[in-house]
């Protein structure tokens, strides 16, 4: 192991294994990363679901450079700078109608916890302080802070950290491979999984429940596409029982499904919506929570203290992040990236499902420019087959992401059809080489 690698404790990484056999990139441009010896690696993951405009997008790079020279930092506690207000207004116009009150964070994890706190604060402002129960979903991922971790449903993420929030319940996940294997787009079966909310209401009482938080498409757990009418049914049940619905759109926001947000794609409007990742093309860390105006107005209107919401971060609305966000919106508009994703989605679907007959494949899932290929686990060594595929693909010039025994794809929205073909050919070759 090289000594200079020891100091950095890498996130969500087997550190000992990586440092014994590191994979390093030194620059990126367009669709590609580049290794130290100049080898191009096609990015089939948009970094980590986030580089929607491609690497090194010129307008974004230049905006960051200018902002760094003009205003390197300004607190947003009792002080403002124009970029934060401009970006919030522009972002509000990009969001679903009426969700134009925006609170800035620095990550998806912070966005999740912020949304959960706003949900509870809303009911407190409404004179219903007992509505505190937060409902997540099995296999859900809402970051790694204590709120999102509690509402999330990926067990290994919780094991080592002791008691989490107690006032939490979980809906069942929607993955039903027995009925829905190899579905194209939304699976036909599974809308009834939303009915589990009725059982939670019966157990706890609607007067105790603050919010339901779900990912419209579950990403980190392995690309779980919602069954037809599932999200619509969940919205109706939340309305019925006076419960807020929170969409975690950290991965589905900003064109990933061929619409501005998944809320637009599915025609289901949440009460709160979290975002991060592609909000700045990941060039500067940033996240945000958008909420319906009535939530914002209720909290501000009911406050009997000058500060209406005792919450925020030192770098909320950082000038460089706001500049990057504005340039990202400009890039989306000028390059028609949302429309591009929608146009490419049918070709992407055909390409993904062409791997149905590849070795070890037991399911394929897709929606927009998202893909998931589930592999049959090896007896006694689950996750190892997918990890071997990851290493082989990297060596062959394509970066994929694996979670468990699932390969996940989320390429930059600038991808070309020939590059989609390259991804599929590389994955097929890798799967043919592993046992």
pLDDT, tens only, 75-111: 999 999 999 999 999 999 999 999 999 999 999 999 9
Token digits of residue 234:
């969940």
- The architecture (CATH level 2) of 3-56+336-433 comes to Alpha-Beta Complex (3.90)
Q: What pLDDT digit, counting tens, does each position of 20-69 carry?
A: 999 999 999 999 999 999 999 999 999 999 999 999 999 999 999 999 99
Q: Which 8-state DSSP code applies to residue 78? A: S
β partners of residue 361:
375
pTM as predicted: 0.97
* pLDDT confidence of residue 3: 60
The dihedral built from the CA positions of residue 267, 272, 274 and 279, taken in this order, carries a sign that is: positive
3-class secondary-structure state, position 408: strand
Give residue limits of the domains in the chain: 3-56+336-433, 61-335
Q: Is the pLDDT of residue 158 over 60?
A: yes
C-alpha triplet 196, 198, 199: angle, nearest 5°: 70
Please determine, for residue 2, whether its predicted confidence score (pLDDT) is greater than 60: no
- Give the C-alpha separation, 282 to 276, whole Å: 8
Entry field: residues in the chain: 435
Exposure b/e, 36-71, CB count within 10 A at least 16 = b: eeeeebbbbbbbebbbbbbbebebbeebbeebeeeb
Give strand pairing partners of 55: 30
pLDDT mean across residues, the chain: 97
Contacts of 64 (CB under 8 A, 6+ apart): 283, 284, 320, 323, 324, 327
Helices and strands counted in the chain (H then E): 15, 15
What confidence tens digit (pLDDT) does each residue in 287-304 have?
999 999 999 999 999 999
Cβ atoms of 262 and 49 within 8 Å: the answer is no
C-alpha 380/C-alpha 158 separation (Å) is: 23
Helix (H), strand (E) at residue 318:
none
| pLDDT of residue 213 exceeding 50 | yes
Quick check: 427 pLDDT over 90? yes
In angstroms, the CA 190 to CA 179 distance is 9
Say what percent of the chain tops pLDDT 90.
99
| Interstrand relation of 370-375 and 361-367 (parallel, antiparallel or unpaired) | antiparallel
> Quick check: 136 and 213 in contact, CB under 8 A?
yes
Give the CA distances from residue 21 to residues 2, 24, 25, 425, in Å, rounded to whole numbers and listed in that order: 10, 10, 14, 25
CA-based radius of gyration for the chain: 21
Give me the mean pLDDT over the 327-353 stretch.
98
Q: How confident is the model at residue 207 (pLDDT cuts 50, 70, 90)?
A: very high
CA dist 297 and 419 (Å) reads 47
Residue 43's alpha-carbon distances to 50, 237, 408, 409, 418, in angstroms, are 11, 39, 12, 9, 13
Assigned fold of 61-335? 3.40.640
Cα separations in angstroms, 51 against 61, 276, 323:
13, 11, 16
Rounded to 10°, the helix 196-204/230-240 angle is 20
Run of H or E residues at 362: strand 361-367
> For residues 154 and 220, what is the distance between their CA atoms, to the nearest angstrom?
9
User: For helices 82-94 and 319-335, what crossing angle results, to 10°?
Assistant: 40
pLDDT band at 1 (very low <50, low <70, confident <90, very high): very low
- Rounded-to-integer distance, Cα 328 and Cα 67, Å: 14
Instruction: Give the C-alpha separation, 186 to 340, whole Å.
Output: 20
CA distance 249 to 192: 22
Give the model confidence (pLDDT) of 248-293 as tens digits.
999 999 999 999 999 999 999 999 999 999 999 999 999 999 999 9
d(CA 263, CA 249): 9
Contact 263, 269 (CB under 8 A): yes
């Amino acid at each position: 192991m090289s000594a200079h690698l020891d100091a950095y404790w890498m996130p969500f990484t087997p550190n000992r294994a990586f440092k014994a056999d590191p994979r390093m990139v030194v620059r990126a441009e367009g669709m590609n990363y580049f290794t130290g010896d100049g080898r191009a690696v096609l990015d089939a993951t948009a970094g980590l679901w986030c580089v929607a405009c491609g690497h090194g997008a010129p307008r974004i790079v230049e905006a960051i450079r200018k902002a760094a020279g003009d205003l390197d930092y300004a607190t947003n506690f009792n002080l403002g700078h124009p970029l934060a207000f401009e970006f919030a207004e522009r972002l509000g116009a990009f969001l679903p109608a009426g969700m134009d009150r925006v609170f800035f964070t620095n990550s998806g994890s912070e966005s999740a916890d912020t949304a959960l706190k706003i949900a509870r604060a809303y009911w407190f402002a409404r004179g219903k302080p007992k509505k505190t129960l937060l409902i997540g979903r099995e296999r859900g991922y809402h970051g790694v802070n204590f709120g999102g971790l509690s509402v999330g449903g990926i067990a290994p993420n919780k094991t080592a950290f002791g008691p989490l929030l107690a006032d939490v319940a979980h809906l069942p996940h929607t993955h039903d491979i027995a009925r829905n294997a190899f579905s194209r787009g939304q699976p036909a079966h599974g809308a009834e999984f939303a009915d589990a909310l009725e059982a939670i209401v019966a157990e706890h009482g609607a007067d105790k429940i603050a919010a339901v938080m779900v990912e419209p498409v579950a990403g980190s757990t392995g690309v779980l596409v919602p069954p037809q009418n599932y999200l619509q049914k969940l919205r109706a049940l939340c309305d019925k029982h006076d419960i807020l619905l929170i969409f975690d759109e950290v991965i589905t926001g900003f064109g990933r499904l061929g619409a501005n947000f998944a809320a637009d794609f599915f025609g289901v409007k949440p009460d709160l919506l979290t975002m991060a990742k592609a909000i700045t093309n990941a060039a500067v860390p940033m996240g945000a929570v958008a909420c319906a105006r009535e939530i914002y107005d209720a909290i501000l209107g009911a406050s009997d203290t000058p500060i209406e919401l005792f919450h925020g971060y030192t770098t909320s609305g950082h000038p460089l992040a706001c500049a990057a966000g504005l340039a990202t919106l400009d890039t989306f508009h000028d390059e028609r990236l949302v429309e591009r994703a929608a146009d490419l989605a049918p070709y992407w679907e055909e390409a993904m499902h062409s791997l149905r007959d590849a070795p070890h494949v037991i399911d394929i899932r897709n929606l927009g420019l998202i893909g998931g290929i589930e592999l049959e686990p090896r007896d006694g060594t689950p996750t190892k087959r997918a990890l071997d595929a990851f290493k082989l693909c990297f060596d062959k010039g394509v970066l994929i992401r694996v979670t468990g025994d699932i390969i996940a794809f989320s390429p930059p929205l600038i991808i070309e059809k020939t590059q989609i073909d390259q991804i599929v050919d590389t994955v097929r070759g890798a799967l043919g080489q592993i046992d």
